[in-house]
Amino acid sequence: MNKRERLFLRAFSFNSIIISAHERKKMFKPIKYILFSVTMITSLLITSCGADSTTDEVIQTAVAQTVAAQNTEQAMVTETPSVLATQTPLSFDATLTPLGSLASPTATLNLSKAECAKASLTSETIADGTVFKPGEQFTKTWQITNTSNCVWDTNYKIVFWDGDIMGGGYVYNLPQVTGPGQTIPISLVLTAPVSNGTFRSEWKLQTPDKINFGVGLYDNSFYTEIVVSDAKKPPYGILSVDYNITRRPTTGCPFNIWYTVYATITVSGPYEFSYYWAQKDGNDSGIKTVFMDKAGSMTISREWKVSIIDSQNDRWMQIIVTDPVYREYGKATWPFECK
């Protein structure tokens, strides 16, 4: 190898080292700087060794290869962002964002775990002890509140739990989606047994993964209890008397304060009875007679006005039934303190 060839190879190797170091420092350096380096090295070669046609061809070939290689590398770098963009969604973990949280920060949709199995009984129709004829059909409704943080969908079920099924099905789907804190009416069409007696039908709810749960702190079943009688005069009667008291005004000590006592009376069937209001101060009401044409409830009320000059002590009122069977139904009691 002659001196010119050795000088050319040394210069070309030096150019490659410069390009490699440059690539490590910055992938996206514009090609014009690399061409400038090649031009400078070429100028040195021409100055040192002189120029002939062979040398020109070799140098032009080297420059062309360098530019082609740089264009290829630049094309690869340009394509890199699009490759990364297509890969980014693959690293997303969908399980980190529960579906229910999209709708509510505290509600979880379709989550069938033990924490979703929480409910309470708000109210119900057809009081326990209601009398039916053998084979009589009736609709029982329970108002059930979702006390969990989950959304109950229609994959939740109402399942027969114990007692007499009363002609119903063993399993029903929940009729509608019910969110946390919402109350859903659960109505079942049932049929009284054909024999006389007292019968009870118990039910519970079930999550989609077969966790059975009831209502209240102890997961009690919700139920209906009826009396079946084929007698011409069934043993209808008063099942319960429940009181509620209001005050007007609700706060403060004006000269006069009005207390109203509400009594909700529930009967087991068509029933006529006589009653009166008794009061602590002896100011009783007169006797009244009421006829209820079917099983159910009615609410009556009585008002008591109290002045701030009256005695500061507890007061009470109560319902007393005189006919057809005498019975006293508790007392609605409240304190009176206004100083």
Distance CA 333, CA 315 (A): 6
Report pLDDT digits (tens) over 41-84.
Answer: 445 444 444 444 444 454 455 444 544 444 444 434 344 333 33
For residues 228 and 132, is the Cβ–Cβ distance under 8 A? yes
Report the length, in residues, of the chain.
339
Smallest CA-to-CA distance from 22 within 37, 12, 2 is with: 37
pTM: 0.62
Average pLDDT over residues 220-228: 97
Report pLDDT digits (tens) over 112-126.
Answer: 578 999 999 999 999
The SS3 of residue 4 is helix
Tokens describing residue 306: 């109290």
Of the candidate ranges 12-21, 100-109, 215-224, 229-238, the one whose mean pLDDT is the lowest: 100-109
Tokens describing residue 98: 């529960």
Q: How confident is the model at residue 2 (pLDDT cuts 50, 70, 90)?
A: low
For residues 100 and 150, is the Cβ–Cβ distance under 8 A? yes
Report pLDDT digits (tens) over 129-150.
Answer: 999 999 999 999 999 999 999 9
Q: Residue 6 has what pLDDT?
A: 57
Q: Residue 67 has what pLDDT?
A: 44
Report pLDDT digits (tens) over 175-210.
Answer: 999 999 999 999 999 999 999 999 999 999 999 999
